[in-house]
Structure 1
Amino acid sequence: MPARKKIEKENIIDTCLKITRREGIDALNARKVAKALGCSTQPLFYYYENMDEIKNEVLQEISKLFNQALLKSNYDRPAYKDIGVNYIRFASNEPEFFKIMFQSKMNKEMFDFIDLTGSSLQIFETISKQTGLSLENAKQFHLRMWLYVNGIASLAAHQTIEFSDDEIDYLLKEQYMSLLIYEVKKGNVKEEILVQLIKKNREGKE
């Protein structure tokens, strides 16, 4: 008789992530997860009290995956545009995960909502470093930019429109520069910073 396969917590969560990736989190139930693992439901409830507890851990793992994807860069620190591109790519590559995080009813305040993964401070610091904006103004800048980026990401997640990398790059550059011009007019950003960024864009460095 073959030895019984030991089911670890990691196996359970990995399996739940695979199911969620294909079908969404509402598809998760004990029988489906147990069948995918090739076991009874007993191991699930050895580690967890109920399916709600399993789902909560799945959500935490999705949040970690999102954060890793969002801040991915070829450099020590991602440029602000990279963060927007990564956000849209995540929506396109992991549509079910994106819908769970950003298109579910959560009744959160706006800034709590865009900081679901705790990454916002690093993002505000990135904006501040690039533009000279104060952290508070960088926060408002990010909110305006995020509303735009999230719209593109939602279209990508629902496969309403398929965006190429070049199209995403162009759209984000245009919106970023528009918001920056607005901040210059308000006196929050020095005009020479805007000139430098325009020059970098023309040279293909930004």
Structure 2
Amino acid sequence: MPPKAEITKESVLNAAFDLVREEGFEGLTTRRVARRLNCSTQPIYSVYGSMEAVKEDVFGRAVRFALARIETYENADNEPVMNMAIGCLLFAKNEKRLFRAIFLSEYGSYDNNKLYEAMRAAFLQLDDRFGDMEERRLRRLFLKLAMFWVGMGAMINAGALELDVEEATKMIEEMYEALKAQEGLA
């Protein structure tokens, strides 16, 4: 009889992440992860302790994955913030379940969403004019822009809006220019 495969934290995380990517957090159960790993549920609890700990790690991996995907969109004609916004829209279109899990689930609330903080940090580095703005104004500017592009992403994700990158870029640019003008950055 061949030796049993060792169930590690990494193997559990990989199986759980794949499930969330395919089915969202709704599909993430201990039994389903165990089925993917061809084991009982006991080894999962042995390496993780609880399903909540698995979900926390899966969400962290999902955030890192999303940010990496979002940052891959690059168009030299765009300001970097536009590339980030378009990258987010493409992520919404191409990673439907993961987008929902991150942005539209109980795990993705604004106050504790690591992706928003990572995106906000990247946003602040995109334009040196932001360095002179007070924190409250920066937070508000980013929140307004993020709400716009995440809202567009949700519509794309749900199939309510077909993505035409040029049209979406133009809409986001118009919103960004209006927000910059409102903040005296235009």
TM-score bracket relative to the smaller structure = 0.7 to 0.9
Cα distance per residue 1:4-48 (max 9 Å; x no partner): 222222111111111111211122122211111122223212201
Q: Which amino acid aligns with 1:118?
A: E
The aligned counterpart of 1:203 is none
TM-score after normalising by structure 2 = 0.82
Q: Distance in 2 between matches of 1:176 and 1:133?
A: 18
Give the Cα–Cα distance (whole angstroms) in 1 for the partners of residues 25 and 50 of structure 2. 15
Check conservation: 1:73, 1:82, Cα contact below 8 A. yes
Partner of 1:80: 81
> Counterpart of 1:134?
133
Amino acid at match of 1:41: T
2:67–2:115 contact (8 Å) kept in structure 1 = no
The gaps in structure 1 that reach 5 residues or longer are 195-206
Q: Give runs of aligned pairs for residues 141-160 of structure 1, distance below 5 A.
A: 141-160=141-160
Identity %: 23
Alignment map for 1:3-82 (pairs within 5 Å): 3-72=3-72, 79-82=80-83
- The alignment partner of 1:6 has SS state of coil
CA contact (8 A) 1:22 1:96 kept: yes
Q: 1:179 to 1:135 in 2, by over 3 A?
A: same
Point out the structure with max Rg over C-alpha. 1
In structure 2, C-alpha distance between the alignment counterparts of 1:23 and 1:107, rounded to whole Å: 16
Are residue 100 (structure 1) and residue 101 (structure 2) matched? Answer: yes
- Name the CA shift for 1:87/1:113 in 2 (closer, same or farther; >3 Å): farther
Structure 1 residues 145, 113: CA separation in 2 closer, same or farther (over 3 Å shift)?
farther
Residue segments in structure 2 that go unaligned for 5+ positions in a row: none
Distance, in Å, in 2 between the alignment partners of 1:163 and 1:6 is 44
Q: How many Å separate the matches in 1 of 2:175 and 2:154?
A: 17
Amino acid aligned to 1:156: I
Q: Count how many residue pairs are aligned between Structure 1 and Structure 2.
A: 181
Give yes or no for contact 2:73–2:86 (8 Å, CA) kept in 1. no
State the TM-score, normalizing by the size of structure 1: 0.75
What are the Cα deviations for residues 81-123 of structure 1, in whole angstroms up to 9, with x where unaligned? 1111111122222222222222224796x6x367645322331
Q: Which amino acid aligns with 1:125?
A: Q
Which has the higher mean CA deviation after the structures are superposed, 98-107 or 6-15? 98-107
**Amino acid corresponding to residue 68 of structure 1 in structure 2:** A
Distance 1:4 1:64 in 2: 31
User: CA RMSD, aligned part only?
Assistant: 2.7
Contact 1:64 1:117 in 2 (8 A): no
